[in-house]
Structure 1
Amino acid sequence: MQYLPVFLDLRRGAVVLVGSGDLARAKLRLLASAGARVRWYATDGNHDLAGLDADDVSRIELVSGDPLAADLSGVIAVLCAGAGDVGPAMAARASAIGLPVNVMDDLEHSTFIFPAIVDRGDVVVAVGTGGASPVVARRVRELIETVLPARIGDLAGFIGRWRKTVHSLIPEFALRRRFWERVVDGEIGALVLAGRNAEAEAALKTVGDPSAFAAGLTSGKLEGRVTLVGAGPGDPDLLTVKALRALQDADVIFYDELVSPEILDRARRDAARVPVGRRVGNPGIGQDAINKLLVEAAQAGKRAVRLKGGDSFIFGRGGEEIEALRQAGVAYSIIPGITAGLGAAAQFEVPLTFRHEALRITFLTAHKARDAEAVDWSTLTDVKMTIVVYMGMTAAPSVRAGLIAAGRSPQTPVGVFARVTRKDASSAIGTLAELPDLVEKVAGGPAILIIGDVVAHAAASRHQQLTQLASYFQDAAE
């Protein structure tokens, strides 16, 4: 993020607008709609105010003369649109005295840029691309426009009118936040969004004990809970809507090592973040310690999220955590995630089942060689079974040896899919006999091994076959 989105209070001073033509008038209309006081230096001398209502016109001061000699006292920002060579010179003057300045389509001479704006009264959404692509920003704004309730600004205004009163009744910040979340997400918020403000006001006035209402308890004590959230294999766009909601509501997030920074960025900014994961060679704090942290957070009235890569219930030890929460009497919920095996299958187009070819799937873990040695490979020799191996990179030689010894053909197609759904995802396709060598080719994990005839249908496999064929014909031609 190169530009920090901020909101400028236009009641604090005047805005100087320098320029002419349609570009300047577009900025003038934007400033007027925000209630700004504007000093407009029309560089072509044409101060046409057509299309502005009387209230807007009354706040616009039409100024003649050289803008480079303008009095900038009481000014809070300078805008240049359609100003030609005057723009950079005006920007230099404004910057010299610490005023924020924007020269349209000139990032070099601007200290701030204009975002695409969604205006819902008291709710304003700003979308920016760092000046790189206003068209992309506009498209994003259009998407937001389609999903944002028309009266969301009314809801913000409703809360604003009650804010001081509720603050005096609920001095504790965390409990007060819970109160407003219940208002926004519940019946009162729905009434405002439906345009039934009088009924919403009446409903809020009937809340006898705001603290109890906020906590959902008669005691007024914060109710803590734990939510197990599957973060998926890495791509933040694969988070479910419910998972995003939990991350936004969380007071504290206990996350695994494999959870990507991009996913953590979707969490509430002021939520505490506690790393509790482990990787090969690093045992972490241990499962018992994690269970204890979850219980303690909930008992302290916090909404805790246990954020796990993939899905909590597929080799994520989520079952153990649920048992600990049950024994402690802690409320909990579970939000599933896309497991890495399914992420790999989707990204590299590996159909884990295929009619008449692959009728069963087995998921297993082989974190270490001894894990692989403990597997009864004789149950996995069915050629119509697809095997998905988690955490199997270091145990790849044992996986190969176990399957071949049990009778699986060394020519069985195998894929090693690393860092699936991420930008640096990698794959290597070959045979079971080549499995350890394939692991070396993907340049590090985490990785999923998929073993079975279905791997031959993978997009990566077809690409590899075409590449090999092209190489063969090239060699033949030479």
Structure 2
Amino acid sequence: MRFLPVFLDLQTGPILLIGQGEFVRAKLRLLLAAGARIRWYATDGNRGTSGLDAGGVARIEHADGDPLTADLTGVIAVLCAGAGEVGHAVAARARAAGVPVNVMDELAHSTFIFPAIVDRGDVVVAVGTGGSSPVVARRVREKIEAILPARIGDLAGFIGRWRKPINAKISDGLLRRRFWERIVDGPIGALVLAGKGAEAAKALTDINDLSGYAGAPETGVVEGHVTLVGAGPGDPDLLTIKALRALQDADVVFYDELVSPEVLDRIRRDASRVPVGRRVGKPGIGQNAIHKLLIEAAKAGQRVVRLKGGDPFVFGRGGEEIEALRGAGVAYSVIPGITAGLGAAAMFETPLTYRGEALRITFLTAHKEKDADQVDWSTLTDEKMTVVVYMGMTAAPAIRSGLLAAGRSPQTPVGVFARVTRSDAQAAVGLLDNLSALVEQIDGGPAILIIGDVVAHSAPWQAVQINKLASDLLVAAE
């Protein structure tokens, strides 16, 4: 993020505007809508304001003389639109004086940029692309416009009017946040969004037990809750809507090492983040210690998220954690995630089942060689069974030996799919007999091994066959 979004109070001082033509008039409309006072140097001498609101026009001061000698005292920002070389010179002077400046469509001369704006009164959404693509910003704005309720600004204003008196009656900060979340998400918020502000105000004043409305019983103690959330294999766009909501509502998030930074970015900004996972070969805090942290946080009244790579119940120890929570009398819920095996299948177009070829799937994990030695490979020799191995890179030689010794064909197609759904994902495909060599082609995990005839339908396998065919034709031509 190169540009930090900020909101300027344009009523605290004048804006210096230099320019001409439709570009500068577009800026005038935007600034006047925000209540700005504008000191305008019309570089072409045309001070026409047709089409602008008469009340807004009264806030425009037409400046004479050379804009390069303009007084910058008290100026909030300098804007140049259609000002040419004069704009560049003014921008240099503003930068030297420490005054924020924007030269339209010229990042080199600007210290800030204009976002695409969604204006809902008290709710304003700014969308930026770092100045690289205004069209993309507009498209994002259009999607947000379609999603946001028309009266969302009214809801913000409603809460703003009631915030001080309600906050004075609820001293606990956590309880206050829970109270306002219920107002926003509940029937009172719905009344405001429906244009029934008076009814909403009455419903709010009719609440006798404010703490109880916030979810606390008469004791005033906030009840905590733990949500086990599947973070998926890495791509944040694969998070479910329910998972996103939990991350935004969380007070504290305990996350695994394999959760991607992009997913962590979806956590509420002021929530505490605590790493508790570990990678293979590295020390961790231990599962019992994790249980203790979850229980303590919940009993302190916090909304806790236990964020796990993939799915909590697929080699994620989610079962152990809910048993500990249940035993401690802590409320909990589980939000599933896309497990890495399914992420690998989708990304590399590897169907885990295929009519007439693959009728069964087995998921297993093999962190180390000793894990592979404990597997009964004789149950995995069916040619119509797809075997999906989690964390199997280190144990790949033992996996190969176990399957071959049990009778699985050395010609069985296999795929090693690393860092699936992420931008640095990687695949290596070949035969079971060469599994160890395939693993060596991968630049680090985590990785999923898929073993079975279905791998021959995958995109990487098809690409290898096309390349081989092209090579054979080239040799034949020579």
Instruction: Map Cα deviations across residues 297-327 of structure 1 (whole Å, 9 max, x no partner).
Output: 0001111100000000000000000000000
- Give how far 1:171 is off: 2.3
- Give how far 1:473 is off: 2.5
- 1:308 maps to 2:312: no
Q: In the alignment, what sits opposite 1:57?
A: 57
In 1, Cα distance between the equivalents of 2:18 and 2:111?
16
In 1, Cα distance between the equivalents of 2:463 and 2:146?
39
Q: In the alignment, what sits opposite 1:460?
A: 460
- Give how far 1:76 is off: 0.7
Which residues of 2 match residues 153-172 of structure 1 at below 5 A?
Answer: 153-172=153-172
Which residues of 2 match residues 70-219 of structure 1 at below 5 A?
Answer: 70-219=70-219
In 2, Cα distance between the equivalents of 1:185 and 1:168?
22
Q: In the alignment, what sits opposite 1:254?
A: 254
In 1, Cα distance between the equivalents of 2:436 and 2:192?
61
Q: In the alignment, what sits opposite 2:449?
A: 449
Q: Is the 8 Å Cα contact of residues 229 and 243 (structure 1) preserved in structure 2? A: yes
Which residues of 2 match residues 359-438 of structure 1 at below 5 A?
Answer: 359-438=359-438
The residue identity in structure 2 corresponding to 1:260 is S
Report the 3-state secondary structure (helix = DSSP H, G, I; strand = E; otherwise coil) of the residue aligned with 1:126.
Answer: strand
In 1, Cα distance between the equivalents of 2:230 and 2:467?
37
Q: Is the 8 Å Cα contact of residues 118 and 124 (structure 1) preserved in structure 2? A: yes
Q: Is the 8 Å Cα contact of residues 214 and 220 (structure 1) preserved in structure 2? A: no
Q: Is the 8 Å Cα contact of residues 213 and 220 (structure 1) preserved in structure 2? A: no
Q: Is the 8 Å Cα contact of residues 122 and 153 (structure 1) preserved in structure 2? A: yes
In 2, Cα distance between the equivalents of 1:372 and 1:21?
73
- Give how far 1:296 is off: 0.4
Q: Is the 8 Å Cα contact of residues 37 and 59 (structure 1) preserved in structure 2? A: yes
- Give how far 1:167 is off: 1.7
Q: Is the 8 Å Cα contact of residues 357 and 454 (structure 1) preserved in structure 2? A: yes
Which residues of 2 match residues 266-415 of structure 1 at below 5 A?
Answer: 266-415=266-415
Instruction: Map Cα deviations across residues 38-90 of structure 1 (whole Å, 9 max, x no partner).
Output: 11111000011111112111111122221111222221111000001111111
In 2, Cα distance between the equivalents of 1:116 and 1:244?
24
TM-score by length of 1: 0.99
Q: In the alignment, what sits opposite 2:67?
A: 67
Q: In the alignment, what sits opposite 2:34?
A: 34
In 2, Cα distance between the equivalents of 1:20 and 1:216?
60
Instruction: Map Cα deviations across residues 360-404 of structure 1 (whole Å, 9 max, x no partner).
Output: 111111111111111111111111111101111111111111111
- Give how far 1:209 is off: 2.2
Report the 3-state secondary structure (helix = DSSP H, G, I; strand = E; otherwise coil) of the residue aligned with 1:85.
Answer: helix
- Give how far 1:474 is off: 2.7
In 2, Cα distance between the equivalents of 1:378 and 1:359?
17
Report the 3-state secondary structure (helix = DSSP H, G, I; strand = E; otherwise coil) of the residue aligned with 1:11.
Answer: coil
Mean CA deviation greater in 185-194 or 216-225: 216-225
TM-score by length of 2: 0.99
In 1, Cα distance between the equivalents of 2:176 and 2:18?
45
- Give how far 1:428 is off: 0.5
- Give how far 1:280 is off: 1.3
Report the 3-state secondary structure (helix = DSSP H, G, I; strand = E; otherwise coil) of the residue aligned with 1:223.
Answer: coil
The residue identity in structure 2 corresponding to 1:385 is M
Q: Is the 8 Å Cα contact of residues 231 and 310 (structure 1) preserved in structure 2? A: yes
Instruction: Map Cα deviations across residues 421-476 of structure 1 (whole Å, 9 max, x no partner).
Output: 00000000001101111111111100000011000000111011111222222334
Report the 3-state secondary structure (helix = DSSP H, G, I; strand = E; otherwise coil) of the residue aligned with 2:258.
Answer: coil
In 2, Cα distance between the equivalents of 1:105 and 1:41?
19
Segments of structure 1 that go 5 or more residues without pairing to the other structure are none
In 2, Cα distance between the equivalents of 1:300 and 1:216?
13
In 1, Cα distance between the equivalents of 2:420 and 2:216?
41
Q: Is the 8 Å Cα contact of residues 37 and 60 (structure 1) preserved in structure 2? A: yes
- Give how far 1:215 is off: 2.9
The residue identity in structure 2 corresponding to 1:110 is S
The residue identity in structure 2 corresponding to 1:288 is N
Report the 3-state secondary structure (helix = DSSP H, G, I; strand = E; otherwise coil) of the residue aligned with 1:71.
Answer: coil
The residue identity in structure 1 corresponding to 2:39 is R
In 2, Cα distance between the equivalents of 1:240 and 1:474?
48
In 2, Cα distance between the equivalents of 1:390 and 1:71?
67
Instruction: Map Cα deviations across residues 329-360 of structure 1 (whole Å, 9 max, x no partner).
Output: 00001000000000000000001011111111
- Give how far 1:212 is off: 2.3
Q: What's the % identity of the aligned pairs?
A: 74
Q: Is the 8 Å Cα contact of residues 20 and 42 (structure 1) preserved in structure 2? A: yes
- Give how far 1:283 is off: 3.0
The residue identity in structure 1 corresponding to 2:188 is I
In 1, Cα distance between the equivalents of 2:239 and 2:123?
26
Deviant stretches of 4+, over 6 Å: none
In 2, Cα distance between the equivalents of 1:89 and 1:15?
17
Instruction: Map Cα deviations across residues 96-133 of structure 1 (whole Å, 9 max, x no partner).
Output: 22111101011111111000000000000000011111
Report the 3-state secondary structure (helix = DSSP H, G, I; strand = E; otherwise coil) of the residue aligned with 1:285.
Answer: coil
The residue identity in structure 1 corresponding to 2:463 is H
Instruction: Map Cα deviations across residues 257-301 of structure 1 (whole Å, 9 max, x no partner).
Output: 000111000001111111100111113001000001000000011
Q: In the alignment, what sits opposite 2:47?
A: 47
Q: Is the 8 Å Cα contact of residues 212 and 221 (structure 1) preserved in structure 2? A: no
In 1, Cα distance between the equivalents of 2:250 and 2:117?
28
- Give how far 1:214 is off: 1.4
Instruction: Map Cα deviations across residues 181-214 of structure 1 (whole Å, 9 max, x no partner).
Output: 1111111111111111111111111111222211
